[in-house]
Amino acid sequence: MPPSDTIIAQRFVQLALALEQHLPGYVDTYFGPPEWKEQSIATGPRPIDQLAQEAADLAAAIKQEPTFDDQRRDYLGRQVTAMQTSLRLLQGEPLPLVEEVTLLYDITPTWVDEREFDEAHRRLDELLPPGDSLFERLSQHKQSIEITYAQAEPLLSIITERLRQLTRARFPLPDEESFELYPVTNQPWRAYNWYLGHGQSRIDINTDLPLHITDLATTLAHEGYAGHHTELSIKEARLLQAQGRPEHCLALINSPACVVAEGIAVQALDVLLSEEEQIRWHAEEIFPRAGYLHLDAVREHAIDRVMRELGSVWDNAAFLLHEQHQSTAEVSAYFQRYGLHRESEADKAVEFISDPVSRSYIFTYGYGGKLLDALFAAKGNAVQWFTRLLTEPVTPSQIRAWLTP
């Protein structure tokens, strides 16, 4: 019989697979024993109250297991709290949005002061060439940085190779890892990393949405090096294979681990290259290779940073829709006003935050990114802290504890 800690971790994985039968997509990636997955599919959806009882028993077992260190207990305990919350939502319990996000992700979202968006608009106004409304000027700017997938393809492999070398030099990337890129259509996201196990990923790029030459390095860093693919391949090699912890044979879409994963992905390029180095790379290699000689890399970088701040518009939109019960038309108007979205993009964004799984997920990007920002600012040595995030079962609570003197 396996040791008691392994049995608990296996129960965790099997419960997650059972939840997937009610919530397709809940298990974002699974690379554990194939027979566990086959069995859960053959069994089909089990009664939710039965799963809730198993989750409660599992939570109690995690608290009592004598062989767990504090970090593993914290990680598994919070992942199971998230599962219990997903089960409550599946049972139809109406949870307020803040409570839902707190229990699922171990972060507490708050309303973002709109003056931050006004300030971002003011800076965009300074950065963009003069013209009509800010919205129009931004649209024209976006057109000027558009690139087709075919044009981008040779650049994508050059960028990937450089990011891989930089990641390899800083972090314990397994030898056999690699990923492949695929253009896809009909997806709600811009790009997605599908981790396949054994250090392999497939990164999908959605070609329905315009690609921007200024985003290529950020996207490949986010999905690949040193973002999602890097984190999962390191955790598979270290935590699953070397340390024999079965809970790392999957990733759950609504769980505290997502905040750490998105934090890592959002910061991935900045941990590899300073802002000056990123600007120089775009000016000297990325823009000229594609013939985008009209672009000023310093200005493009500044615009990109301001646009990131407008990412929090999504958080407020979720509050408006789910807490203040505004209509979809009103929330779409909010995306257009503060996020400077086109009407069609704004409608898509409302659709995305209406989905029961995505509506809480959108908070992971901003909160993950800010948590890591705070960590690196307070502690210095970003590479060393980033290594801990890539190699240990970290939760947002643990990062907050590191920050507390």
**Could you tell me the smallest distance in angstroms from the CB atom of residue 73 to Zn ion?**
27
Separation of alpha carbons 143 and 147, rounded Å: 9
- Nearest distance, CB of residue 249 and Zn ion, angstroms: 20
Question: Shortest Cβ distance from residue 204 to Zn ion (Å)?
Answer: 12
* Stretch near Zn ion under the rule CB under 5 A, chosen from 3-11, 93-101, 196-204, 258-266: 258-266
Residue whose pair of structure tokens reads 């006004």 in the numeric block: 118
Task: Write down the least CB distance from residue 322 to Zn ion, Å.
Answer: 22
* Pairwise CA distance, residues 297 & 276, whole Å: 10
Select the span of 24-32, 120-128, 251-259, 261-269 touching Zn ion (CB under 5 A). Answer: 261-269
Residue with tokens 């329905």, as numbered in its chain: 208
Among candidate residues 369, 318, 348, the one with its CA nearest the CA of residue 100: 318
Minimum distance, C-beta of residue 189 to Zn ion, in the bound complex (Å): 9
Of 55-63, 176-184, 205-213, 259-267, the window that binds Zn ion (rule: CB under 5 A) is 259-267
- 7: its two tokens: 């049995």
Nearer to Zn ion, 265 or 350 (CB): 265
Is the Cβ of residue 103 or residue 265 nearer to Zn ion in the bound state? Answer: 265
**Other CB atoms within 10 A of residue 316 CB:** 22
Q: Tell me the three-class secondary structure of 105-154, residue by residue.
A: HCCCCCCCCHHHHHHHHHHHHHHCCCCCCHHHHHHHHHHHHEECHHHHHH
| Distance separating alpha carbons of residues 253 and 306, to the nearest angstrom | 28
Per-residue DSSP letters for 234-273?
HHIIIIIIIT--GGGGEEESSSHHHHHHHHHHHHHHHHHS
Q: Which of 62, 250 has the CB closer to Zn ion?
A: 250
Contact status: 265 vs Zn ion (CB under 5 A): yes
Which of 339, 369 has the CB closer to Zn ion?
369
Is residue 78 a contact partner of residue 257, using CB atoms and an 8 Å limit? no
* Residue placing its CB nearer to Zn ion in the complex, 339 or 368: 368
CB-closest chain residue to Zn ion: 265
Number of neighbours of residue 264 by Cβ within 10 angstroms: 23
Q: How far is the CB of 367 from Zn ion (least distance, A)?
A: 13
Minimum distance from CB of 253 to Zn ion (Å)?
11
253 binds Zn ion (CB under 5 A): no
Burial class (CB in 10 A: 0-12, 13-18, 19+), 191: buried
The helix (run of H) or strand (run of E) holding residue 197 is: strand 191-197
Q: Does 203 bind Zn ion (CB under 5 A)?
A: no
C-beta of 58: minimal distance to Zn ion in Å?
Answer: 27
Q: Which alpha helices (H) appear in 208-362, and where do they start and end?
A: 216-223, 228-235, 256-272, 275-281, 287-289, 297-309, 313-322, 328-339, 343-354, 358-361
Q: Residue 67: which H helix or E strand, with range? A: none
Q: Whose Cβ is closer to Zn ion: residue 191's or residue 286's?
A: 191
* Tokens at 399, concatenated: 């990062």
Q: Which stretch binds Zn ion (CB under 5 A): 86-94, 201-209, 264-272, 298-306?
A: 264-272
CB-CB contact of 250 with 25 (8 Å) = no
The answer to whether residues 267 and 372 touch, using CB atoms and an 8 Å cutoff, is yes
Count interface residues toward Zn ion (CB under 5 A).
1
- Measured from the CB atom, is 159 or 260 closer to Zn ion? 260
Residue closer to Zn ion (CB basis): 263 or 339: 263
Q: Which stretch binds Zn ion (CB under 5 A): 114-122, 138-146, 263-271, 390-398?
A: 263-271
Listed ranges 94-102, 125-133, 265-273, 281-289: which one lies at the site for Zn ion (CB under 5 A): 265-273
* Segment contacting Zn ion by CB under 5 A, of 13-21, 169-177, 232-240, 262-270: 262-270
Looking at beta carbons only, is 37 or 228 nearer to Zn ion? 228
Considering the complex, what minimum distance in angstroms separates the CB of residue 258 from Zn ion? 9
Nearer to Zn ion, 269 or 320 (CB): 269
CB of 156 to Zn ion, least distance (A): 17
* Residue ranges in contact with Zn ion by CB under 5 A: 265
